[in-house]
Structure 1
Amino acid sequence: MSQVNIEQKGAVQPGAARSEQSPYLLLFIILVLAAVATWIIPAGKFDHETRNGITFAVKGSLHEVARSGVYPGEIFMAIVQGVIKAAPIIFLILFTGGLLAVIEATGAIATALNSLSRSTKISDTRVILIFGVIFAILGTTGVVQNSVVAFVPIGLLVARSLGLSPMIGTALVYLTCAAGFNVSVLGPATTGLTQHLAQLPLFSGMLLRGITCLLFVITVMVYLIIQVKRLRADGQVRSEQMVQSDTKLVITGRHKLILIACAVTLLAFMAGTVTLHWATNEMSAMFIILSIVVGMIGRMSGSAIANTFLAGCSQLVKGGFIVGMAGAISVVLQQGNILDPIVGFLSDLLAPVHPAIAAVGMFVSAALMHFGISSGSGESALLIPIFSPLGDNLGLTRQVTVQTVLLGEGIVNSISPTSGVLMAALATANISFGKWIKFVAPVVAIWFVICVVTLLIGVAINWGPF
Structure 2
Amino acid sequence: MEKGAVKKSRRFVMPDAFIIIFSIVTLAAIATHFIPAGSYERETVDEITKVVPGSYEKIASNPANLLDLFSAIPKGMVESANIIFLIFIIGGIVYIIESTGAITSGIHTLIQKTSGRYMLLIATVSGIFGILASMGIAANAVIAFIPIGIALARSLKLDAIVGVATVYLGYYSGMIAGIFDPTILGLAQTIAELPLFSGMLLRVFLFLALITITIIYTNLYAKKVKNNPEKSFMGSKLFGNLPNDTKVEDRNLIITGRQKLILLTFLLFIVTFIYGAFNHDWGISELSGIFLMMGVVIAFIARISPNEFISQFIAGAKSIVYGALVVGLARAVIVILNEGAILDTIVYYALGPLESTSIYVGAQLLYVFNLLFNILVTSGTGQAAIIMPLMVPIVDLLGITRQTGALILMLGDGFTNIITPTSGVLMAVLAVGGINWVKWVRFVFPLLLMWMIVGSIAITIAIFIGYGPF
Which category describes the TM-score, using the shorter chain as reference length? 0.5 to 0.7
For the pair 1:389 / 2:389, whether they are aligned, the reply is no
Q: Which amino acid aligns with 1:142?
A: I
Deviation at 1:344, TM superposition (A): 0.9
Instruction: Confirm or deny: 8 A CA contact 2:92 2:316 kept in the other structure.
Output: yes
Look up the SS of the partner of 1:117 in the other structure.
Answer: helix
Return closer, same or farther for 1:95/1:346 CA change in 2, 3 Å cut-off.
farther
For the pair 1:361 / 2:368, whether they are aligned, the reply is yes
Deviation at 1:250, TM superposition (A): 0.7
Q: Which amino acid aligns with 2:287?
A: M
Q: Where in structure 1 are there 5+ consecutive unaligned residues?
A: 1-14, 158-168, 229-243, 370-378, 414-418, 426-432
For the pair 1:322 / 2:326, whether they are aligned, the reply is yes
Could you tell me how far apart the structure 2 residues matched to 1:342 and 1:132 are?
Answer: 40
For the pair 1:67 / 2:61, whether they are aligned, the reply is yes
For the pair 1:310 / 2:314, whether they are aligned, the reply is yes
Could you tell me how far apart the structure 1 residues matched to 2:218 and 2:69 are?
Answer: 49
Instruction: Confirm or deny: 8 A CA contact 1:265 1:290 kept in the other structure.
Output: yes
Residue correspondence of structure 1 range 196-235 to structure 2 within 5 A: 216-217=210-211
Q: Where in structure 2 are there 5+ consecutive unaligned residues?
A: 1-8, 134-141, 191-195, 223-247, 393-401, 421-425, 427-433
Out of 92, 98, 101, the residue aligned to residue 104 of structure 1 is 98
Look up the SS of the partner of 2:99 in the other structure.
Answer: helix
Look up the SS of the partner of 2:296 in the other structure.
Answer: helix
Q: Which amino acid aligns with 2:368?
A: G
Instruction: Confirm or deny: 8 A CA contact 1:38 1:336 kept in the other structure.
Output: yes
TM-score by length of 1: 0.63
Could you tell me how far apart the structure 1 residues matched to 2:419 and 2:459 are?
Answer: 14
Out of 30, 36, 43, the residue aligned to residue 36 of structure 1 is 30
Name the structure 2 match of 1:270: 274
Name the structure 2 match of 1:11: none
Q: Which amino acid aligns with 2:55?
A: S
Return closer, same or farther for 1:180/1:74 CA change in 2, 3 Å cut-off.
same
1:380-405 Cα distance to aligned partner (Å, 9 max, x none)? 65999778623442238899746534
1:74-116 Cα distance to aligned partner (Å, 9 max, x none)? 2222222222222223322332323322222222221112223
Instruction: Confirm or deny: 8 A CA contact 2:106 2:255 kept in the other structure.
Output: yes
Could you tell me how far apart the structure 2 residues matched to 1:80 and 1:34 are?
Answer: 16
Q: Which amino acid aligns with 2:364?
A: I
Instruction: Confirm or deny: 8 A CA contact 1:350 1:394 kept in the other structure.
Output: no
Q: 33-42 vs 444-453, which deviates more? A: 444-453
Deviation at 1:155, TM superposition (A): 2.4
Could you tell me how far apart the structure 1 residues matched to 2:221 and 2:331 are?
Answer: 43
Q: Which amino acid aligns with 2:278?
A: V
Name the structure 1 match of 2:115: 122
Return closer, same or farther for 1:315/1:153 CA change in 2, 3 Å cut-off.
closer
1:280-324 Cα distance to aligned partner (Å, 9 max, x none)? 222221111112122222222222222322333333333333332
Q: Which amino acid aligns with 2:367?
A: V
Could you tell me how far apart the structure 1 residues matched to 2:221 and 2:64 are?
Answer: 55
Return closer, same or farther for 1:453/1:248 CA change in 2, 3 Å cut-off.
farther
Could you tell me how far apart the structure 1 residues matched to 2:320 and 2:219 are?
Answer: 35
Q: Which amino acid aligns with 2:280?
A: L
Instruction: Confirm or deny: 8 A CA contact 1:28 1:325 kept in the other structure.
Output: yes
1:234-278 Cα distance to aligned partner (Å, 9 max, x none)? xxxxxxxxxx97864111112211221122122222221222222
For the pair 1:255 / 2:286, whether they are aligned, the reply is no
Q: Which amino acid aligns with 2:314?
A: L
Return closer, same or farther for 1:178/1:50 CA change in 2, 3 Å cut-off.
closer
Identity of aligned residues (%): 24
Return closer, same or farther for 1:331/1:101 CA change in 2, 3 Å cut-off.
same
TM-score by length of 2: 0.62
1:200-247 Cα distance to aligned partner (Å, 9 max, x none)? 9xxx99x9899976765555667899999xxxxxxxxxxxxxxx9786
Could you tell me how far apart the structure 1 residues matched to 2:380 and 2:23 are?
Answer: 16
Instruction: Confirm or deny: 8 A CA contact 2:415 2:451 kept in the other structure.
Output: no
Q: Cα RMSD over matched residues?
A: 5.0
Return closer, same or farther for 1:298/1:328 CA change in 2, 3 Å cut-off.
same
Return closer, same or farther for 1:360/1:155 CA change in 2, 3 Å cut-off.
farther
Look up the SS of the partner of 1:50 in the other structure.
Answer: strand
Could you tell me how far apart the structure 2 residues matched to 1:251 and 1:390 are?
Answer: 51
Deviation at 1:63, TM superposition (A): 0.9
Out of 271, 285, 288, the residue aligned to residue 289 of structure 2 is 285
Name the structure 2 match of 1:55: 49
Instruction: Confirm or deny: 8 A CA contact 1:95 1:284 kept in the other structure.
Output: yes
Q: Which amino acid aligns with 1:51?
A: V
Return closer, same or farther for 1:70/1:176 CA change in 2, 3 Å cut-off.
closer
Out of 386, 406, 417, the residue aligned to residue 414 of structure 2 is 406
Deviation at 1:352, TM superposition (A): 4.7
Return closer, same or farther for 1:356/1:302 CA change in 2, 3 Å cut-off.
farther
- Equivalenced residue count is 379
